[in-house]
Structure 1
Amino acid sequence: MLTDDGGDPSADLDGVDGVIILGGRHGGHGGHTTSRDGSTAVYAAARALVRDALAAEVPVLALGDGTRLLTEAGGSAPGRGGPPRTPGDGRTVQLTPAADTDPVFAGSGLPSPGLRPATEPLELPADAVVLATCNGYPEQAFRVGTSGWGVRFAAQDAAAVGGRRAGPSLDSWGEALLGRFAVLVAARAEHTATRAFFTRRAEAWEERFAYQTPAYEAAVARMRLMDGGLAVDLGCGTGRAMPALRAQVGPSGRVLGIDVTPAMLTAAARHGRTRLGHLLAADCTRLPLPDASVHGIFSAGLLDHLPDPYAALREWARVTAPDGTLLLFHPSGRAERAARHNRPLDPDDLLAENNLRRAVESTGWHLDEYEDAPGHFLARAEARGTVAGSV
């Protein structure tokens, strides 16, 4: 939780599933000595943290005066908005049509009639979607991108300390809103951690691991794909496998790079991967692809990090044509990775041969090659067709 009252924000997003921003003692509709102009080091650090959270799609909820921090992190100019308008007491806050399909506001019903609209103009980022408005005071609640929400209005009887309001108070309607935000945070927690980890590493990822490119090329060659097919680099990162996949399927084939971290896809585009195929942000367990449409899936270092690898394998089998290929790869063998982390080989490791064979054979695949060598891990499987119970 961030406030603008001088608390030192966390240095990064490690272990953070969601962020709530509250206005502190420097907020309110009057003078603003610490955070309004963005001049203090603490405020600048908080703004940078929120900007990183938005980039990594970590859910952010800003309340009251905390919404200014959200808008500035989202790209609006610091301090922009204009002078306060006349008090908005007695005016009714209404939800916009966009709220009907919003992940947090959908199904929330009308806000309580006693809510006090915010009266200070606020410049919203270019991609903001207004979710609640009021006659004469349009920007009462909004969404920034896919993961940032701002709520500016408060209850008429919000508690005050020392003559100033202590912070936003949204009564029972607002408590329900907080509950829906908490549900969303929990539902996105797995992807939030992944995106937060890889977003701050995306910029240097390609250069850091460029030496592994020949190993990726050799692994893709083992897929033995036909010209004209559709090949998918699943969990593609910066798309290091995409050049080799393009070479396999030829000019008449298609290559698709899929990753859950937008920052990685941005890095992939910067390194020219869009000349080789399309890039798509998606969950690997809910692929936006038709049944039996894929001829080859390449996946490096992904399967054993998923919370439900069996569900993932079933989904991958669903989208793969019969006799299509799945190639699981890592540029290090299991023993090498275990030694790197100072731990013994785990007999329960999903990638151990017996465990992996059981997993793939029960989810619509046939494992026909398995190598756990000192310098790489590789497993190749062929799809038998969609298995019962897959979606």
Structure 2
Amino acid sequence: MADDHTHVQDFFAARAADWDSRFPDDGPAYAAAVQELGLRPGHSVLDAGCGTGRALPALRGAVGPGGTVIGADLTRDMLNAALRAGRAASGALLMTDAARLPLRTATLDAVFAAGLVSHLPNPGRGLLELARVVRPGGRLALFHPIGRAALAARHGRPLSDDDLRAEPRLTPLLAEAGWRLDAYTDEDSRFLALAVRTG
């Protein structure tokens, strides 16, 4: 587990400083995905694996000044980049493992997770932990600003049904962790899976 975390931390630490400049046009896609999460003023939301905090301003806009926004990431360099970008003004930043959150059970209305699931050493356990902190009926958005096929092409590999984000794999993975897949979009311009906390 520690080795998996070290690998993830090293990967993102090496890319933190220029992360936002590498993907300068993703902002509208993040905002659109946040809008589909169905947040309302006063809600509490976690951005799990928040990175440089690109979703935090949209999340703050959705929950308003009376809501709670938490950005959690495992990599200090990413959180420092979020601080430099001024995104701490939109939410509290927390350095922690998304699979071991220091949050009370059933206290959040929603979780937003951009690009997180493929970086979890144990995706099932990570999704179970996200379910733990969300109240029944709460929502989860698994987002990526590029679809599976376009991302595979970017990395020079074929699209695979073994991808965790492939609908036939993701649906049972979510169900085992306490989520029901509610909507699934996988197109070149974005990936978005919306799920509801069961029970």
Specify the TM-score bucket, using the shorter chain as the normaliser.
over 0.9
For 1:278 and 1:225, the matched residues in 2 are separated by 18
Q: What SS does the corresponding residue of 1:252 show, helix, strand or coil? A: coil
Q: Percent identity?
A: 50
C-alpha deviations, 1:177-230, integer Å up to 9, x for none? xxxxxxxxxx52111111112112211112222211111001110001121111
Q: What does 1:16-31 align with in structure 2 at a 5 Å threshold?
A: none
2:192 paired with 1:378: yes
Q: C-alpha displacement at 1:262, in angstroms?
A: 0.5
Q: What does 1:203-352 align with in structure 2 at a 5 Å threshold?
A: 203-352=17-166
Do the aligned residues in 1 keep the contact of 2:8 with 2:119 (CA within 8 Å)? no
Q: C-alpha displacement at 1:362, in angstroms?
A: 1.6
1:319 alignment partner AA? V
Q: C-alpha displacement at 1:235, in angstroms?
A: 0.5
For 1:199 and 1:344, the matched residues in 2 are separated by 27
For 1:339 and 1:199, the matched residues in 2 are separated by 24
Q: What does 1:179-218 align with in structure 2 at a 5 Å threshold?
A: 187-218=1-32
2:46 alignment partner AA? V
Q: RMSD of the alignment, in Å?
A: 1.1
For 1:219 and 1:324, the matched residues in 2 are separated by 16
More helix by share: 2
Q: C-alpha displacement at 1:289, in angstroms?
A: 0.4
Q: What SS does the corresponding residue of 1:210 show, helix, strand or coil? A: coil
Q: What SS does the corresponding residue of 1:203 show, helix, strand or coil? A: coil
Q: C-alpha displacement at 1:337, in angstroms?
A: 1.3
Q: C-alpha displacement at 1:338, in angstroms?
A: 1.5
1:342 alignment partner AA? G
Q: C-alpha displacement at 1:342, in angstroms?
A: 2.5
**TM-score calculated relative to the size of structure 1:** 0.50
1:269 alignment partner AA? L
Q: What SS does the corresponding residue of 1:377 show, helix, strand or coil? A: strand
For 1:267 and 1:192, the matched residues in 2 are separated by 19
**TM-score calculated relative to the size of structure 2:** 0.96
C-alpha deviations, 1:352-379, integer Å up to 9, x for none? 1111111111211111100111211100
Q: What does 1:122-201 align with in structure 2 at a 5 Å threshold?
A: 187-201=1-15
Q: Which runs of 5+ in 1 are unaligned?
A: 1-186, 386-391
Q: C-alpha displacement at 1:305, in angstroms?
A: 2.3
Q: What does 1:86-97 align with in structure 2 at a 5 Å threshold?
A: none
Question: Relative contact order: is structure 1 or structure 2 higher (C-alpha 8 Å, sep ≥ 6)?
Answer: 2
Do the aligned residues in 1 keep the contact of 2:5 with 2:121 (CA within 8 Å)? no
Compare CA radii of gyration and give the structure with the larger one.
1
Q: Which runs of 5+ in 2 are unaligned?
A: none
For 1:366 and 1:291, the matched residues in 2 are separated by 18
Aligned residues: 199
For 1:341 and 1:279, the matched residues in 2 are separated by 30
Q: C-alpha displacement at 1:340, in angstroms?
A: 1.9
Q: Which residue of 2 is the match for residue 355 of structure 1?
A: 169
